[in-house]
């Protein structure tokens, strides 16, 4: 949906259920969707832009650990 189509859909629903917009929404386009009146907005840009962090956990004496 475009923000305009979203606004029409929100008007049709008229508060009878919660509404959400998602898919292809970015930081730059989220405000028009919010102004359309949806209850929730989901956008992957929040998680897609995060840099990975490589971590490991090594316990002292773990080379002698027997796992059954």
The model carries a pTM of 0.63
Q: How many CB atoms lie under 10 A from the CB of residue 43?
A: 17
| pLDDT, tens digit (0-9, with 9 covering 90-100), for 4-54 | 999 999 999 999 999 999 988 988 889 999 999 999 999 877 677 777 777
Angle at CA of residue 59, ends 58 and 62, nearest 5°: 100
């Amino acid at each position: 949906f475009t923000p305009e189509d979203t606004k029409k859909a929100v008007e049709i629903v008229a508060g009878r259920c919660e509404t959400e917009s998602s898919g292809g929404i970015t930081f730059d386009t989220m405000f028009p969707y919010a102004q359309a009146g949806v209850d929730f907005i989901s956008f992957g840009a929040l998680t897609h832009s995060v840099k990975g962090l490589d971590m490991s956990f090594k316990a002292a004496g773990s080379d002698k650990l027997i796992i059954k």
